[in-house]
Chain A
Amino acid sequence: MSGLQDVRQLRTAVMRAALADDRESAERLREEGGRLVALLGGLVRQCRLGSEEPMRAAAQQLVPVLARLVEPLGVLRLEPGEAGLEMNGLLLRFRPEEQAAAQQLAQELLRHQVTALQVHGALDEAAALVLAQALADPAGRPGRAAAALAERLQGLGPLQVLGRSAEPGPADGPDDAWQGALEHLRAATAALAADRLPDVAALRGAAARLAAETALRPDRALGPTLWPWRMQPGEHVLLGATALGLRLGQALGLGPAALEDLGVASLLQAARPLAAAVRRLASPRGAHTGKVRRLLALLELAAPGADAGHLPSRLLRIARDYALLVVERPGQPRLAPPMAQGMMWAARGQAYDSDLLAIFVQQMGLYPPGSLVELSDGRAAVVLSGGRDAERFAWPRVAVVRSPDPGEARARLDLFEERERLRPKRVLAPGSLPLDLTALWSE
């Protein structure tokens, strides 16, 4: 029995829906939001009139209301929507005496071509007055009005002006998933550094696209040292760890939601200081699965030593440590992938979960993607594929990168098919041969 006949299954669905359906809180927030808008609209009007005393009085009233809203919401987002002013997706309703002030604020936002105004923390009276004055002042020239307002509000830390102009396009090409993830990673780390809530929804979308791309082209995900994109070493490690973690999760058989959780947790794992990062990442209300898992991973991965932790943390620890070993960082030359993997293999069961590491190694193969190997005939090649299966575990696909015959340069070989006459003879040091990474993937 399944679906609608199964009372237990139906009860679970109803219970989950009922717990999420918190109208009481929504109504409270809606009411408070309406009040905030009315107060801010009124303050803008007072700024126009220039009467100082009422301005101060209005600002005094506004500050605590805003603080009460930001605390549960994490970030307060006001936007003039199709049906009226919305706060974090809730359509606000106003009392008759508040209508005029609310309309005024909506008009000011539209006049400044603002699609949304975000407040990441409490404002003091002075900041509230600056905001209201900026909204009351003439708008910038068309097309730049929102940016001009943002410039005026620069320095008022918790305020952020949103517009559509900075949004990157949808991911279409094969590289866009990687580039998108990189951009969102940069935005998230910058937001956390400024004590703002990163756009976790966008980060989750990026993780979902990256997971799809990783499933489509696993070999590319497994060889971060072969990536042709320009990025800082820190970003390279995090993106590499994320791709490796997603691939390992896929090999294990995790579902799409768990993979997205994993991807987001991986991209955010370097957020520091820890307490501030936890506070900020926890700020949007609701203890949903993704939030619990990424905070747990953040704290478990930051714990000293090889603390076991939950599955996402154990899995990400493997991916992260491998990326840390094979990606070059200032003062830390990269290790050859087989060497890095061998060191981790030696620590399995102690520093790493034995079974997860076994699955990781299955994916990577004896010579992980990015390994430089000398072949038994003297040619040198770079490994392009992972482990594939038990039979081909030690016989990857490679691209020749050094050969006495110039015509054979860049030739692709499947060493499993050539195993009767050719084998990897030894591992070469990374960087010992020049590699044209762009050409490597384009062929």
Chain B
Amino acid sequence: MAPGDPRAGLAGDGATSAPGAPADDGAPLPEGLDAAQRALARALRGLARAACDLPGLDPRARADRGQLQAAHAALAAALGASGPVDIELAPGRLRLAEVTLDTDSDPERSLATRLHHEGVRRLCLSPGLDEAEFLALLEALSPSFSRLQPAEDDAAARLRQAGLPHVRVVAEPGPPGPVGPELPPGLADQLPLERPELGAPAPPKWVEPGPERRAGLCAEVPPGEAAAAEVLALFGRLLALLDDPRERATLASLAPLVSELRDQLLCEDHLESLARLVDGLAALTSAPPPEWDPARAATARTLVASLGARRQVRRLLRTMAREQRRPPAAVLAALDRLCADPLAAVASVLPDERNVGVRVAARQILEHYGRARLPEMQQRFLSARGQVASDLLRVMAGLGDDAATTFVVQQSAHPDEAVQDEAVWHLSRMPYSNTVGRALLAAFRQTTRERRARILELIVRTRDRRFVDLLARHVDEHARELTPDEGAGIGRVVGLLGGPSTIDRWRQWLVPRPAGARGFEGPLARQVAALLALAEIPGEEAAEALGEAFDQADDVAQPWVLGALAQRERTGGKSR
């Protein structure tokens, strides 16, 4: 049963839970819950986990979508079984009608703690919550580290605004109020608003704008994020405010807001608007400043320059559609304009980025810029480690030219395992050549035991018989260090590549012990390599050699001989 399976907890596990019975993630559920309560507790746990994971999910990945679907199915099934539920939220604790459904003391992971902290006291869920509503619920519940208090878009507000028909929240009316002396009234009977100056009246009449016009008006304030046009309009108003001699506003005092507006437009869909905002800022750098704001040009320059910072570039990459195979021209144009060195700016995102989609986008862009700067890419690769080095290697493999390919191939024996994996992955997809062959052998010699098996598979696919000598020499030189399993792996490969002409060679690894004793001379790994090589070679001669080996084998070697015969049987060695 898969984690999050709705059947979990509902299927015949008795009326009440055993003490400390584990939930699907291994943490125990509270004692004494009945089956329906356990199913609900698990479903809520799945909901909390899915909400936490949402920011890092890959929408294209079937596994990620499957996780969300399982979480939805679990919740739908639990609600279907229990009917509407009214869940009470307390720090670290979810309760249903005086029964504690679940506890979690981690303040950032616990759904109960997070929601309670943002003023939500009860979460009422009803059956009928479909996938679209579930997704909206996840978004409202996803943890955010941008929504620091005082936040008007806390969980209570987000849930209220999402308008979810099967979800109702009960929230506290608001945070504590101030105590002590009251502030002086700010408005009293004064109002800095003037009556409009209007002409003679005309009798109004009923006029119907029509549904299309109404819909058009509503579309001007779309739900969700403010439209780019609104952001740009606000920027325009701020520019006008800066030039108003009555207000005497300085750009530095509004710089945090301007930065936020700029960041809001740092999105693949809004790059045109972003360009217009940058134009506006650029104009400030050259215009003569008013006497109340002598530092305006310098502040504007700083705002423009900070667009190329790592944080901003990462934000832009996060908004790029992951379905694309190449970076959009608009993104490249934006990077060219915003960053002094786009390659360096994009490369700076990789070390701390855990989001797969962002890494993909970054690699695509680095491929674009790296084409003309291979030595620099190589230098960056050499000073990188782990996942970053692996990413950079993939970028260089994508460049496709000979120098880059040679460089990638050389890394197959890199001491960093992440890099090695990446390089081998590329080797497996390259057309075979002497260079690739040499790289495979080097990788085989220098890698770990676990990775050798994968490289041997690649060597088989090359069909290059030159590997027979090389691998045989490896066995001769390292037979005492090799395990029998490793010997078997190598034996299979040399058998497949070498064919009947190498039978004698493998016979030489099966020299009987002297004085009629059973068994063979030499290390067991070498014997096993010979047996498995013979198992892969078609024809009677190899079969005979195996038969002789069976007669001569001692108790240690005999199971391997039997294994080799079985292998031969399986692969139809006789008839090949």
Contact = CB atoms under 8 A, between A and B. Distances in A.
Interface of A: 2-5, 7-11, 13-26, 29, 71-75, 77, 81-83, 88-91, 115-116, 118, 146-147, 149-151, 153-154, 160-171, 185-194, 196-197, 199-205, 208, 232-235, 237-238, 252-258, 260-261, 264, 269-270, 272-275, 278-279, 282-290, 292-293, 295-296, 299-300, 303, 309-312, 320-321, 324-325, 329-330, 332, 338-339, 341-347, 351, 355-356, 358-359, 361-362, 366, 387, 390, 393
29 contacts: A4-B134, A5-B65, A7-B65, A18-B318, A153-B180, A163-B178, A169-B173, A186-B187, A193-B186, A200-B152, A201-B152, A232-B189, A233-B189, A233-B191, A270-B193, A286-B151, A287-B261, A287-B263, A290-B152, A296-B234, A310-B229, A325-B196, A355-B213, A356-B217, A361-B204, A361-B205, A362-B208, A366-B205, A390-B206
B117 to A, nearest CB: 6
Contacts of B26: none
A235 B257 CA distance: 29
B179 A165 contact: yes
Contacts of B68: 4, 10
A285 B147 CA distance: 8
B182 interface: yes
Contact of B181 (A9, A150, A203, A284): A150
B199 A292 contact: no
Contact of B241 (A153, A299, A325, A338): A299
Contacts of B201: 338-339, 341-343, 345-346
Given A23-B145, A208-B160, A310-B220, A232 B178 contact: no
A288 B142 contact: no
Given A201-B149, A258-B221, 13 more contacts: A14-B57, A89-B148, A153-B180, A161-B180, A166-B179, A168-B177, A187-B177, A194-B186, A282-B256, A285-B148, A299-B237, A358-B207, A359-B209
B29 to A, nearest CB: 22
Contacts of A286: 146-147, 151, 260
A72 B145 contact: no
B59 A7 contact: yes
A11 B322 CA distance: 9
B536 interface: no
B148 A199 contact: no
Give the residue among B200, B206, B256 with the most A Cβ atoms within 10 A: B206
B50 to A, nearest CB: 10
Given A24-B352, A257-B161, A310 B230 contact: yes
Nearest to A332: B195
B514 interface: no
A158 to B, nearest CB: 13
B175 A26 contact: no
Interface stretch (B246-254, B296-304, B471-479): B246-254
Given A201-B150, A346-B199, A287 B231 contact: yes
Contact of B206 (A4, A202, A362): A362
Given A186-B185, A252-B217, A282 B148 contact: no
Contact of A343 (B117, B131, B189, B200): B200
Nearest to A295: B234
A426 B96 CA distance: 62
A74 B152 CA distance: 13
B328 to A, nearest CB: 15
B523 interface: no
A161 B178 contact: yes
The 4 closest A-B pairs by CB, nearest first: A150-B180, A3-B131, A342-B201, A193-B186
Contacts of B146: 19-22, 25-26, 285-286
B130 to A, nearest CB: 6
Given A10-B65, A292-B226, A166 B178 contact: yes
DSSP class of B's interface residues: helix, strand, loop or mixed? loop
Interface string B148-163: 1111111001001101
Contacts of B202: 342, 345-346
Given A233-B191, A296-B230, A197 B223 contact: no
A234 B187 CA distance: 7
A347 B323 CA distance: 51
Number of chain B interface residues as a range: 35 or more
A344 B176 CA distance: 42
Contacts of A14: 54-55, 57-59
Contacts of B352: 24
Given A3-B131, A9-B132, A253 B221 contact: no
A285 B405 CA distance: 46
Contacts, number: 406
A256 B218 contact: no
Is chain A's interface secondary structure helix, strand, loop, or mixed overall? Answer: helix
A320 B196 CA distance: 9
Nearest to A26: B145
B271 to A, nearest CB: 15
A60 B193 CA distance: 44
B174 A310 contact: no
A86 to B, nearest CB: 8
A311 B220 CA distance: 6
Contact of A17 (B142, B215, B323): B142
A11 B131 CA distance: 14
A275 B145 contact: no
B355 interface: yes
A192 B190 CA distance: 14
A166 to B, nearest CB: 4
Nearest to A167: B177
A196 B184 CA distance: 12
Contacts of A393: 205-206
Contacts of B194: 324
A81 B72 CA distance: 33
B214 A253 contact: yes
B135 interface: yes
B233 A310 contact: yes
B33 to A, nearest CB: 25
Contacts of B226: 287-289, 292-293
B107 interface: yes
A440 to B, nearest CB: 24
Given A154-B181, A208-B160, A257-B161, A355 B150 contact: no
Interface string B118-155: 10000000000011111110110011111111111110
A293 B230 contact: yes
Contacts of A264: 152
Q: Which of B134, B193, B233, B244 has the most CB of A within 10 A?
A: B193
Contacts of B57: 10, 14
Given A21-B144, A345-B201, A71 B178 contact: no
B238 interface: yes
Contact of B175 (A11, A202, A332): A202
B55 A21 contact: yes
B468 to A, nearest CB: 48
Nearest to B118: A89
A191 B184 CA distance: 9
Contacts of A197: 150
A166 B187 contact: no
B319 interface: yes
A150 B180 CA distance: 5
Contact of A275 (B136, B139, B233, B248): B248
A190 B254 contact: no
B191 A346 contact: no
B426 interface: no
Contacts of A161: 178-180
Contacts of B315: 19
Contacts of B72: 3-4
A344 B201 CA distance: 7
A234 B190 contact: yes
Contact of B238 (A299, A356, A387): A299
B193 A88 contact: no
A2 B177 CA distance: 43
A256 B181 contact: no
B203 interface: yes
